[in-house]
Amino acid sequence: MTFLFWNLNQKPLQETIAAIAVEHDIDVIILAECKIQVADLLVTLNAKRVRKYSLTFSALDRLLILARLPRTAIQPLADTGFLSIRRLVPPVGVEILLVAAHLSSKLYQESEDQSLTATRFARKIEEQESHVGHRRTVIVGDLNMNPFEAGVSAAEALHAVMDKRTALKISRVVGGEARFFFYNPMWGRMGDCSEGPPGTYYRQSNRQVNYFWNTYDQILLRPELINRFRDEAFKVVTVVGAKSLLTNEGIPDTVSASDHLPIVFALDLSEI
């Protein structure tokens, strides 16, 4: 099953979304900052397609989730501020917990605020994992934090680490309590030596500390899903058909596309 996440920066990019969906054979589309009318988006997505996309219910207007699956395949569990937590039950294969995220921007929260908020979200996700009885969980979205920031990496927060071998230890004890890992493959998509662009979001400012490229858009996987993650299908998308999403300077084209780059990934949900 193939997933697309893109923060659209409120741009009318339905044609580009549809082109990505065709090019990468997308099953589930998750959009942040989407101001496109849903009806218009569905018409564009479904033109000349046999398997039609439909909107899944969400009480959270920060995120839009569309899927070419039976309507019963994506079941709402919780919408909590900046998260949409869904039980994804494919027609054939194992179910997963899908957590779509669009966390608060650094324009509105300090790093400390983001870390404390992420801690609360981590507990909410654990509650839903207990409710469904498994930890086959994937978080995807705009976390508005880099992988190395405390809200993503700290044990009390999302506890997402950079290598599979560590994550496959399942958990570690911190302060006398077990804290479960996520694996964060986005570490491998940072900097000039990575495959693709150095990050997913570019911002220049006059602050003393400025990374320029940031990797705010991320995928976090529980260890139970690591072996189902298809490395070869994982991409930060920069070209759609003949259209580049980057300027001539190699940064996101905020005029004809978005200030964020889309990410595509796939999970093998077949019975193993």
Could you tell me what percent of the chain has a pLDDT over 90? 86
**51 vs 98, higher pLDDT:** 98
pLDDT at 59 over 80: no
Residue-wise pLDDT for 196-230, tens only, equals: 999 999 998 888 989 999 999 999 999 999 999 99
Average pLDDT, the chain: 94
Could you tell me what percent of the chain has a pLDDT over 70? 99
Q: What is the largest CA-CA distance in the chain?
A: 56
Check: CB of residue 188 under 8 Å from CB of residue 200. no
Q: Which helix (H) or strand (E) holds 236?
A: strand 235-236
216: DSSP letter: -
Query: What is the mean predicted confidence (pLDDT) over 50-58?
Result: 87
| CB burial readout 28-51, b (16+ within 10 A) else e | bbbbbbbebeeeebbebbbeeeee
Query: Which pLDDT does position 206 carry in this prediction?
Result: 87
List, in sequence order, the alpha helices (H) in the chain. Answer: 14-23, 38-46, 111-132, 150-153, 164-167, 223-226
Find the length of the chain.
272
Instruction: Provide the pLDDT confidence category of residue 116 given band limits of 50, 70 and 90.
Output: very high
pLDDT at 128 over 80: yes
Query: What is the mean predicted confidence (pLDDT) over 133-155?
Result: 97
- Those residues whose C-beta lies under 8 Å from the C-beta of residue 128, and which sit 6 or more positions away, are 77, 78, 85, 97
Query: Which pLDDT does position 107 carry in this prediction?
Result: 75
Indicate the fold that domain 2-266 takes in CATH: Deoxyribonuclease I; Chain A (3.60.10)
Instruction: Provide the pLDDT confidence category of residue 58 given band limits of 50, 70 and 90.
Output: confident
Place of tokens 């090019």: 23
Instruction: Provide the pLDDT confidence category of residue 81 given band limits of 50, 70 and 90.
Output: confident
- What whole-number distance in Å separates Cα of residue 165 and Cα of residue 168? 5
- Reduced to 3 states, what is the DSSP secondary structure of residue 251? coil
Residue-wise pLDDT for 221-260, tens only, equals: 999 999 999 999 999 999 999 999 999 999 999 999 999 9
The pTM score is: 0.95
Query: Which pLDDT does position 44 carry in this prediction?
Result: 96
**Can you give the residue ranges of every domain in the chain?**
2-266
Query: What is the mean predicted confidence (pLDDT) over 1-5?
Result: 97
**144 vs 271, higher pLDDT:** 144
Of the candidates 26, 125, 39, 134, the residue with the CA atom closest to the CA atom of residue 84: 125
Query: Which pLDDT does position 109 carry in this prediction?
Result: 80
Query: Which pLDDT does position 176 carry in this prediction?
Result: 94
Give me 134's structure tokens: 């498994």
Query: Which pLDDT does position 48 carry in this prediction?
Result: 75
Of the candidates 261, 166, 270, the residue with the CA atom closest to the CA atom of residue 221: 166
Query: What is the mean predicted confidence (pLDDT) over 11-32?
Result: 96
Query: Which pLDDT does position 272 carry in this prediction?
Result: 67
What HEC string does 79-106 produce? EECCEEEEEECCCCCCCEEEEEEECCCC
Check: CB of residue 163 under 8 Å from CB of residue 131. no
- What whole-number distance in Å separates Cα of residue 81 and Cα of residue 77? 13
Query: Which pLDDT does position 152 carry in this prediction?
Result: 97
Instruction: Provide the pLDDT confidence category of residue 69 given band limits of 50, 70 and 90.
Output: very high
List, in sequence order, the alpha helices (H) in 163-218. Answer: 164-167
